[in-house]
């Protein structure tokens, strides 16, 4: 498949269902040639078929919990966990150390590794776009541990090493059973920390690669498997937000957090 200057190519991770699959459909409808991926090697294929990469959508993610009660879970999301007692939270969802580690690995480390892996091909594009699908839950205000909140807020000194320090401390506290004592989030703790880390990483790489357009976006509370189909928005509505960022024209802002189609604070 020969490459031409007018053709654009994209990779979408976690794209076998839900928002990811719909992002693929919408990008393809816009004339983009898309590689749909879910946990497989992609750089060698993209290089041999396309020779470059124009768009990377890091969509792959998991909640890091097991949902036990859909109605209680939905109430937790809507109220940001404030309306439920500890007993109700336990009835709504199961949170474990093993699930937390997997959540960090997929939501943050997976997105970071994918970007680094495909970076050489993105650098061959004349309009590289990176969209990290995040969540409003990853906003700094939801990181209740004051030390971690301070790390994420200190933009001038934010580094990958500092993010790794936060993740290491969080996992250690989780393993030791000291999340509550260290004031980490009461619910969806691993998901919140992972998405906050992804948002911070987005700011770092946007600054490091000024010729790229790199942003993160919360698609909204969408009806998918990850929300046990309790969301407000359809997958079509949710996918439209990362797709819009993937198709931004040259010269568009970079290093921003979007809540659906509006710029929001980190």
Can you name the residues that pair with 130 across neighbouring β-strands?
56, 214
Q: What is the DSSP string of 66-111?
A: EES-HHHHHHHHHTTT-SS-HHHHHHHEE--HHHHHHHHIIIIIIH
Active site residue 209: no
Can you name the residues that pair with 259 across neighbouring β-strands?
218, 262
**The token pair that represents 30 in the structure block:** 């816009």
Which residues lie below 8 Å from residue 159, measured CB to CB, with a gap of 6+? 204
Tell how strand 129-133 and strand 55-58 pair up.
parallel
Candidates 191, 201, 209, 258; catalytic one: 191
Catalytically active residues are 191
């Amino acid at each position: 498949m020969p490459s031409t200057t007018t053709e654009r190519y994209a990779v979408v991770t976690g794209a076998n269902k839900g928002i990811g699959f719909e992002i693929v459909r919408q990008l393809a409808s816009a004339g983009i040639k898309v590689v749909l991926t879910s946990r497989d090697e992609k750089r060698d294929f993209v290089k041999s078929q396309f020779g470059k990469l124009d768009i990377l959508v890091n969509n792959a993610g998991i909640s890091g919990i097991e949902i036990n009660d859909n109605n209680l879970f939905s109430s937790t999301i809507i109220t940001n966990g404030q309306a439920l007692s500890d007993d109700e939270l336990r009835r709504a969802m199961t949170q474990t150390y093993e699930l937390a580690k997997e959540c960090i690995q997929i939501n943050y480390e997976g997105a970071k590794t994918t970007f680094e892996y495909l970076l050489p091909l993105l650098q061959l594009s004349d309009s590289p776009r990176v969209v990290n699908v995040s969540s409003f839950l990853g906003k700094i205000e939801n990181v209740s541990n004051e030390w971690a909140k301070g790390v994420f807020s200190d933009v001038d000194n934010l580094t990958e090493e500092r993010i790794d320090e936060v993740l290491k401390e969080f996992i250690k506290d989780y393993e030791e059973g000291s999340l509550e004592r260290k004031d980490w989030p009461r619910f969806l703790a691993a998901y919140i920390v992972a998405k906050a880390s992804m948002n911070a990483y987005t700011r770092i790489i946007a600054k490091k690669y000024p010729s790229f357009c790199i942003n993160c976006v919360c698609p909204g509370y969408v009806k998918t498997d990850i929300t046990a189909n309790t969301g407000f928005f359809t997958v079509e509505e949710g996918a439209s937000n990362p797709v819009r960022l993937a198709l931004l024209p040259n010269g568009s802002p970079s290093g921003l957090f979007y809540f659906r189609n509006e710029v929001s604070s980190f």
